Structure 1
Amino acid sequence: MSQTDQRTLPDHSTRQPREGADVARVSPARAAAEPPAAGAGPVVRGNRLAALDGLRFLAALSVVLFHFVGQTPGAMQFVWGRPYYETFPTAHGYLAFGRLGVELFFLISGFVICMSAWGRAPRDFFISRVTRLYPMYWAAIAVSAAVIYLFDTPFGHPNPRMLFANLTMLQAPLGVDNLDPVYWTLWPELCFYLTFSVVVWKGLTYQRVVIFCGIWTVAAVLAPRAGIPLLTLLVNPTSAPFFIAGLAFYLMYRFRPTPLLWGIVAMSWLLALHFLLAPHGGRNNWETWAPWRGWLVLVITVFFLLIAAVALGWTSWMRWRWLTVAGTLTFPLYLLHDVIGVSVVHHFAHSGSPWAVVGVTVAALVALSYVVQRFVERPVARAARRWLNSAAFSLKPPPERPRA
């Protein structure tokens, strides 16, 4: 689930169309492919988008509540020691939809990654992604591993080999289980970064991002039928439509909406629902969770509408600092909540009201996320950024050491 930073963007509102006969000679097809004038849309401001920060935090919170209240009946029985209808008879059915918070993460990630990469050199993009992901990820693994190996938790005591594979963040292609089940979202994010870095390397432009969206859409459609596991692993068909829509929404935000961009979004919305509702190979196991399909369509549609509101500039009035602070807590909260939170809930399941246990646990996790983000993730990421910025990043060998 990414969870990404947002950078200052230059204002391209000074771009002017060509005059007179030059304009008249542009064909409709070429005009549709060219980027619209940036001045026609909302001005791209240098501050963070507080609305996206707030949505990220709500997405993380929905996943947290899903793991505590809305999991499958078997998982709820295992965690709480009693059936879900004895603990959360009404709320369970609603908070089961919290699992879809990951889809909102992916939508936001497509938007923000494109925004943060615009105008950056590939080297800077690489450094920003590495320092954004790995310091917090390694901190989360250290904390989760300590809880798993030192205490009696529902997660058992996995083979330490799993720990070493997970430290690479490449456990999915290595065929190794995740130390924490929530880590599954990191592979789709990482694949998105790797493939999008090709566009960053060539230089981000409106046309190149649109072409990237088209190629990825075609690949996501063909991969499930191609029968090539490696292609499916890299393309991530069930997650791709959300990233692609996020990219298109950012182009709307930076320039202005066009029929071409709305077409990309509409196609992504349809494919997202197709994969979500698929009887086999989709994101959900219908044997353990079979809600009314209309609710799934409604939730995903609302997610798209929320990001559309940001892209159209309708949320620009939101500038509350607390939303920005909440956004910085999203990644640590997402990575830390499962192993720690479920273990705490399992231990105190019979100590009082289930809602009181959940409330105290969530509040403690938010506080822990703030401490870890402020005193671990931020300083480590800053130091790593300085170190990587000082590196040559060249395949040429460094100067030899002077010999005595």
Structure 2
Amino acid sequence: MHGQRLTGLDGLRAIAALSVILFHALAWQSGAQRGNAYLAVDFFFMLSGYVMARTYEDKLATSLSPATFLYGRFCRFWPTLFVAGLIGLPWFLVSFGVDQWGIAALNLLLIPTFQFVRLYPLNSPAWSILLELFANLLHTLVLRRLSTTTLVITVIAMAPLLAMSVSRISFDIGAMTAAFLPALMRVTFSYMIGIILWRWWRDRPSIAVPPALAFLIMPLFFSVATWFDVDSWQSGFLFILVACPLMLAGGLRWSGPAHEPTARAMTWGGAMSFPVYALHTPICMTVTMAGWPVAWGILPTFAAAYLFTRPNFGVIRHIVQWKRARALA
């Protein structure tokens, strides 16, 4: 069972990535943020906790070293982010000045810059990758050793602390240096819930959620919030504690032959989701620097992301992914 690809979750991953892109595009175009589609990142965190527990907890307890696991996770993310940073480099130097090349160099290596307003001014969404790697580190050192009951108690105890933080700021924390510590709670909270759901369900969710409903939850939730300009910490908890588990349950119940068009589309969407997420900001910022509407950056983003789904695109990516595959085999 553990070796089977969870095609339904691939489809949800694609919807989450598209939600983030549309959220940013609307904000950049209008100059004002509306809605709460940034919460799609919390679904990514919960999905990561589920998939990492499903795929690696047993291996980490036996044959896989923490260092090898973390190296593999870094190799999963860094090549795409490095190329994204190179794409955004001209925009960054024009916007912040050529004397800030040292900041750009650090960001290209996935190193945050705490002296800036943003951790990653070169490519803002990289903050979520840094925090996901932190959650992976915590997972391999601590969380995998905790019982499910202990994890549940920890999540319950963390909830009021997270609520106190986001009620004063917003759930849209992570990119800004000043909110780094609350952002650590944000990622760990959803990530731990993902681990718990894996241990409870083992790919067989105890709640019967129709897959079609699971695929509609994010578009409906974010569309209503955008239309009525709703953004509150309460809606954030509603999304994380109710919507995300329901989506996972429905996605896990989706089944169908891998050769069917729908299954192929979901698998392709899942493969596209991370490069789309990693590339969209520098590409769209470059487009706006050229004086074009930000929407013109969406098509080039998908075109560039498609290249990253090709098995032999890029010498760096090919070599690092090959090493990662050997390390995590």
TM over 0.5: yes
Q: Which residue of 2 aligns with 1:171?
A: 112
- Seen in structure 2, the aligned counterparts of structure 1 residues 157 and 380 have a Cα distance that, compared at 3 Å, is farther
Corresponding position: 1:110 with 2:14: no
- CA–CA separation in structure 2 for the residues paired with 1:255 and 1:349: 45
Q: Which residue of 1 aligns with 2:19?
A: 62
Q: Which residue of 2 aligns with 1:252?
A: 200
- Seen in structure 2, the aligned counterparts of structure 1 residues 213 and 298 have a Cα distance that, compared at 3 Å, is closer
Show structure 1 runs of 5+ residues with no match. 1-43, 79-83, 85-91, 260-288, 351-356, 390-404
Question: CA offset at residue 315 of structure 1?
Answer: 1.9
Which entry has the higher C-alpha Rg, 1 or 2? 1
Corresponding position: 1:329 with 2:272: yes
Q: Secondary structure at the match of 2:3?
A: coil
Number of corresponding residues: 279
Q: What RMSD, in angstroms, separates the aligned Cα atoms of the two structures?
A: 3.8
Question: CA offset at residue 386 of structure 1?
Answer: 6.8
Q: Which residue of 2 aligns with 1:188?
A: 131
In structure 2, what residue type is equivalent to 1:371? L
Q: Which residue of 2 aligns with 1:284?
A: none
In structure 2, what residue type is equivalent to 1:48? R
Q: Point out which structure has higher relative CO (alpha carbons under 8 A, 6+ apart).
A: 2
- CA–CA separation in structure 1 for the residues paired with 2:70 and 2:231: 42
- Seen in structure 2, the aligned counterparts of structure 1 residues 52 and 256 have a Cα distance that, compared at 3 Å, is closer
Q: Secondary structure at the match of 1:382?
A: helix
Q: Secondary structure at the match of 1:291?
A: coil
Corresponding position: 1:162 with 2:103: yes
- Seen in structure 2, the aligned counterparts of structure 1 residues 324 and 157 have a Cα distance that, compared at 3 Å, is farther
Question: CA offset at residue 306 of structure 1?
Answer: 0.5
Q: Secondary structure at the match of 1:249?
A: helix
Q: Secondary structure at the match of 1:118?
A: helix
- CA–CA separation in structure 1 for the residues paired with 2:115 and 2:257: 43
- Seen in structure 2, the aligned counterparts of structure 1 residues 165 and 346 have a Cα distance that, compared at 3 Å, is closer
Q: Considering fraction of residues, name the structure with more helix.
A: 2
Choose which of 118, 123, 129 in structure 1 pairs with 2:73: 129
Choose which of 268, 289, 302 in structure 1 pairs with 2:243: 302
Q: Secondary structure at the match of 1:181?
A: coil
Choose which of 285, 299, 309 in structure 2 pairs with 1:363: 299
- CA–CA separation in structure 1 for the residues paired with 2:102 and 2:152: 37
Q: Do the aligned residues in 1 keep the contact of 2:204 with 2:253 (CA within 8 Å)?
A: no
- Structure 1 stretch displaced more, 296-305 or 216-225: 216-225
Q: Secondary structure at the match of 1:329?
A: helix
Q: Do the aligned residues in 1 keep the contact of 2:284 with 2:298 (CA within 8 Å)?
A: yes
Corresponding position: 1:142 with 2:86: yes
- Seen in structure 2, the aligned counterparts of structure 1 residues 187 and 335 have a Cα distance that, compared at 3 Å, is same
Question: CA offset at residue 298 of structure 1?
Answer: 5.8
Superposed CA offset, 1:253-299 (max 9, x none)? 3276689xxxxxxxxxxxxxxxxxxxxxxxxxxxxx96265865665
- Seen in structure 2, the aligned counterparts of structure 1 residues 380 and 135 have a Cα distance that, compared at 3 Å, is farther
Q: Do the aligned residues in 1 keep the contact of 2:14 with 2:270 (CA within 8 Å)?
A: yes
In structure 1, what residue type is equivalent to 2:305? S
Question: CA offset at residue 62 of structure 1?
Answer: 0.8
Show structure 2 runs of 5+ residues with no match. 166-176, 208-227
- CA–CA separation in structure 1 for the residues paired with 2:133 and 2:149: 20
- CA–CA separation in structure 2 for the residues paired with 1:49 and 1:108: 11
- CA–CA separation in structure 2 for the residues paired with 1:386 and 1:108: 21
Q: Do the aligned residues in 2 keep the contact of 1:217 with 1:244 (CA within 8 Å)?
A: no
Please, what TM-score do these two structures have when normalized by structure 2? 0.69
Q: Which residue of 2 aligns with 1:286?
A: none
Identity of aligned residues (%): 23
Q: Which residue of 2 aligns with 1:273?
A: none
- Seen in structure 2, the aligned counterparts of structure 1 residues 118 and 321 have a Cα distance that, compared at 3 Å, is farther
In structure 1, what residue type is equivalent to 2:275? P
Q: Secondary structure at the match of 1:171?
A: coil
Question: CA offset at residue 186 of structure 1?
Answer: 2.1
Question: CA offset at residue 130 of structure 1?
Answer: 2.2
Superposed CA offset, 1:101-143 (max 9, x none)? 2122112111111122132212442232122122222222222
- CA–CA separation in structure 2 for the residues paired with 1:307 and 1:386: 26
- Seen in structure 2, the aligned counterparts of structure 1 residues 234 and 345 have a Cα distance that, compared at 3 Å, is closer
